[in-house]
Each structure stands twice: as C-alpha cells, then as structure tokens.
Amino acid sequence: MPNIVLTFPDGATKEFPSGITALEVAKSLGPRLAAEALAAKVDGRLVDLSAKLEESAPIQFITPPSPEGLEIYRHSSAHLLAAAVTDLFPDAHPGIGPPTETGFFYDFYRERPFTEDDLKKIEARMQEIVNADVPNERVHLPKEEGKKVFEQMGEFLKCQLIEEKAEPVFSAYRTGKFLDFCRGPHIPSMGRVKAFKLLSVAGAYWKGDEHSHPMQRIYGTAFFSKKDLDDFLAQIEEAKKRDHRRLGKELDLFSIQDDAGPGLIFWHPKGGVIRKEIEDWLRTELLARGYDLVFTPHAMRLHLWETSGHTNFYRENMFGAMDVENDHYQLKPMNCPGHILIYKSRTRSYRDLPLRFAELGTVYRYERSGVMHGLMRVRGFTQDDAHIFCMPDQLESEVQACVEFAFLVLKTFGFDRYQVELSARDPQHSEHYAGTVEEWNLAEGALKNTLERMNIPFKHMPGEAVFYGPKIDVKLVDAIGRPWQLTTVQFDFNLPGRFGLEYAAADGHPHTPVMVHRALLGSIERFFGVLIEHYAGAFPVWLAPVQAIVLPISDKHLGYAREVQEELRRAGVRVQLDDRNEKLNARIRDAQLQKIPFMLVVGEREAQAKAVAVRRRDTGDAGSRPLAQFKEEVRSLIDTRAVKW
C-alpha cells in the first residue's frame, strides 16, 4: 500500500505507511507525546488513538491542556462511572453520560435510589478500574445486529438511542464488561484518569420528558491533577456558603411560595430595596443613552407569537394559551412583539432611527420542575429588555454602544473579570434557523467586526446562535471564579420582515429596518442571585438593604439614638434602630449576621459629643467620629456607588 503524508500543526510533513494508528504516529514523535496524547484530530475530525490512518491529512494530537482534551477526558470519566455502576448494580440501566463544563454525569434507570454509601462504593470501584488500566476498546456494529446485542443485555434505553440515532454501522465502546453505544472518541485506557470525584445524585427524566422513565443522575467531576480537583472541591464548598437560596432566607430577601407555585419569586422588603436600586440605576442610564422607556402587557393574542415564529421554534418553553372571548391569548415569553407593535403604531422615517425601546418587562416561560433553581432558573422573571430599530449602516455602532453599556454594568456592580462569546449558526443544520445564508453572513460579520474593532477577545461558538440571529454574550466571572451569563446582544433580521416593519428612507422608498435585541442584566431575578453569591450577601453600601444600624448601649441613650437615626434617614441613608432589651454584644452579633455595613454604638460619651462609635462589618471597631463626619462618609460611599470601601 502507498505511504500517506501527515501534516503537523507547525507545517512539517512526514511519510508513514498507510494503516498506521494515531498512537503509533505519536510514538514515532516521542515517548512523552505518546504518554500524554488523549486523542487525535485528523483532517479536523476527532478520533481515538487506535484509529487507523489510511489517507494523507493534517493531524494534531489532543493533550491535557486543551479544552478538547478535557472534554474527552471527562466523557471517558462518565464511561468509567457507568462501568463501575453496572458492575456493582446489575439492575441499573444506563441512559446517557455526557461531559459538562464542570465535570460529567450519567443517568441510570433503577427502581431503588442510590444512597451516599452507594456513591462511595461506586467511587472505590472506579478507582479499581483506573488502577487496572482497563482499556477503552472501540468496536463497530451493524445497526440491526447492534440492537440485538443490546436487547440481549436488557438495555432497552440504549436500544431506543440506537433506533433513533445510530448510523447503518455504528460505534460502541467496551470498558471491561461495560458496552456503550457512543461516537467517542475516548482516552485509550482508564489508567489515564488521574483525579475524579463523585459529587451527588439527583432525579431526572429520560430525554427530559417528565412523562417518561424517571432516572437517577449521578454527577461527578474529573481533572488532570489532584491539585485542580482539590481547588474545584474547595470552590464547591465556598459556593455552598454563598448559595443564594440559603442567604435569601437568612437575610429575608426573597422566597418561593408553594401556594403560588414553583419558579415564581416573591421579593421581600429587603430584596425589594436592592431591586429598586438596581432598576433606578439602570433606568437613569437608559435615559442618558437615548433609550425610550416603554411598557407592554403581560398577555397578548397568540397570533403575534405565530407571526414572530416563536410557536415554531420556542413552543415547548411557552405556557399554554388562554381562551378569552373566542380568541387565544398567550402569556408573553418575550417582549419583542410588544415593542414591534409600538414601532408599527405610526409611520417611521430614517430621521427617527435609531429607535431604542427599553422595558423592564416580566415574561413567563415554562421550565420543567427538575431544572428550576432558586433565582437562577424560574418561570416568571423580569427582563431588562431593549430592542433597537436601526438602518443597516447604524448596526455596528449600536452593537458597540450595547457592549460598552455592558462593561459599565460590570464595573458598577463590582465585577472585574468577564468572558465574551460570539454565538453563530451551525451551517450543517440550516433548518434550525430563520433567514438566508446571506443574511446570516452579514449579521455574523457585523458582530465579529464590532468586537475586533473594539479589541475585545472573544470565543467563537458555532451552533449556539438563537433561531433568529447570531449574538454576543458577555459572561461575568464572580468572586470565586464562576462564569455567569449576563449581557446578550442579538442581531435579528427575521422579525422586522415577519411583521412588515418599514421606515421611509432618504431615497423616498420604504425600507426594512434591522433590529437588535439587547439584555444587559439578563433578568433581574437571576442577576440578583448572582449578586448575592458574588458578595456572599455582604453587599456594597449603596446596595445594602440596611446601610447602618444604631445600637444604644442602654435605654437611657434611646433619645440620642433616635436623633442619630432620624438625621441619617433625612440624609437618605437606610438606617434602623435596634432598641431590643438584649445585651450590646448580642445585638452587634445579630447585625453582623445580617451583614449590615455599619453598626453605630451610642452611649453617654457619644450623646454629649454628637458622635457615633463606628463598627464595620468587615474590620470591626473603626473608632468614634462626629455624626456629621460619618454622615458625609456614608453618603459618599452611596453617591459614588463604591464597591470597595
């Protein structure tokens, strides 16, 4: 057989005999590469190291530092988990087991629930498989023959997947006695897994359908080193301390009421104060940046969502329609059609554009009960939504202004790290998207050009666009290093055409405007949850629901304590008076637990000097000072929206 020529990332080429495996190629380049390589990318396609190479092509070896390497490593770790579970618990039927951003999971159908003791046993069995360096062997099976193999094994869930997704000849992977229908690739053997940990077990449904089989989902994580694993586990422990659901209850910020239903948020007075501060700042900035504030109904006729295309692309996330006077109404999942109707309410000229409509609009989306999570994923939420109607030559400047606005949000609320992603369409599945290829190329080019002109590093995300256009996502990174989706800037060439939007252009003819969807905070609820966890409930002074608390040493100092409270209140400080019949240290401790920035102790000396003895929640005793001076200091922190003080 003729030799093949492989081209390496540095441009070098080398001849090899046809049929050589990727692993043999790696060995020819050095023992270190052969030991580190997890898989290979041949002509742009990921393959196992056991893959035989029979044609000339570019080749790149996937090693641990790469994101692709970590994904393959964690995918293989999921198979390691399934191999251990099916070995220990023959009554467990495996479903799917993908890698995730933070680890992996595997779903199992089993009548008896897994316990914490079971997880320990599974983890121990996984380690035995790693110690034995059990290989991952790729096999190929004709579809009908493969189905019979899995039927004989009793794996009815795998048979469903094979029926739905398998090619005429499909691949499966054998790890010891465990056989899994999977496209791969995988690491050569389980001895490559250096550090892993099972984290929890939770309920799930087969294919996400609550009417289908109930599943048990075992979560785990894996890293290339024990240090990285230990760092991640430490982050999990820190995240538990910052959990917004626990802090929301302890600080009396919000609740979710069973009587009202899941995924619906009740803002308590303290949470309401923080929400007011967020919204007041946002509305002031919107008006300063040329936005018009609008308000639209919570429910509108269903035909609007048919026109917009949401009933085709988004129906499963919409609540059921309501019948009113022989007409169908829909709780709005988006604000877009409402803003479009305002645009259409009168004739528009090119001189009117750009038009920027902003709304803090409450929307309703059907989320399955298994995926809702405190403030982070809910069924009713308020979106800080805006839609910009503009001419094509205004698009890039409007997108730039949105991104600059997003960076101001990050700075104002105390986030100094972020990630930017450009979500594009999957060119292999055009049926998932509205619009033509030419429109998509124009839209993606406009967003890409804007980011490059602004010198903003970004990650290209093919296949992550929404159905009506590409988007820029800005993710903040919180105090313990977790990314959270924040700002989205989405281009839309779909809705203006669907709704027949026009403006009178300078040439005297009607033209169709382009449209930008823009959300800065995402949703007020989710952003609030992120703020709680970022600050662990200890908000900056300007956001704190109670900014200072006055603590009289005894009842005879109550008169002066009330004077202090009133003077600070007149100065616009959110201040409380704790006059309970409790010891001073107990009241200080309670104020500390409520994470109040300033505790003002007043006694005889302070009353005579018109002063306050200041305690800070972070550093404790800050000394005594005149009340007028403290008032000036706290007002400065509020007025400048200081995040560090």
Catalytic residues: 336, 365, 383, 385, 387, 471, 517
The reply to whether omega before 470 is within 30° of 0 (cis) is no
Show Cβ contacts of residue 55 under 8 Å, excluding neighbours closer than 6 positions: 4, 18, 43
d(CA 337, CA 519): 15
Helix (H) or strand (E) holding 96: none
Which helix or strand (DSSP H or E) is residue 349 part of? none
Cα 623 to Cα 615: distance, rounded to the nearest angstrom? 7
Q: Are 347 and 500 within 8 A, CB to CB?
A: no
- CB within 8 A of 554, min separation 6: which ones? 603
Query: How large is the angle between the packed helices 269-288 and 395-412, nearest 10 degrees?
Result: 140
Q: Which tokens belong to 90? A: 């023959």
CB of 574 closer than 8 Å to CB of 302: no
Question: Cis ω on the peptide bond leading into residue 354 (within 30° of 0)?
Answer: yes
- Give every CB contact of residue 120 below 8 A, 6+ residues apart in sequence: none
Let me know: does 6 contact 16? Beta carbons within 8 Å.
yes
Report d(CA 364, CA 51) in Å as an integer.
Answer: 49
Is residue 321 exposed (0-12), middle (13-18) or buried (19+ Cβ within 10 Å)?
middle
How far apart CA 427 and CA 435 sit, in angstroms, is 12
Beta bridge partners of 179: 174
Helix (H) or strand (E) holding 79: helix 67-88
Tell me the C-alpha distance between 248 and 533, whole Å. 10
Q: Pull the structure tokens for residue 325.
A: 């006077």
Residue closest to 40 by CA, chosen among 15, 67, 68, 10:
68
57-62 and 214-223: which strand pairing?
unpaired
Instruction: Find out whether 386 and 519 touch, Cβ atoms under 8 Å.
Output: yes
What is the b/e burial string over 430-469, where b = at least 16 CB atoms within 10 angstroms of the residue's CB? Answer: eeebbbeeebbebbbebbbebbeeeebebeeeeebbbbbb
Q: CA–CA separation, 265 vs 375, rounded Å?
A: 7
* Category of 403 on φ-ψ map: left (φ > 0), alpha (ψ -120 to 50) or beta: alpha
If we measure between CA atoms, which residue out of 142, 123, 135 comes closest to residue 177? 135
Map 261-319 to HEC letters.
CCCCEEECHHHHHHHHHHHHHHHHHHHHCCCEECCCCCEEECHHHHHHCHHHHCHHHCC
With H, G, I as helix, E, B as strand and everything else as coil, classify residue 459: strand
- Other beta carbons within 10 Å of 233: 14
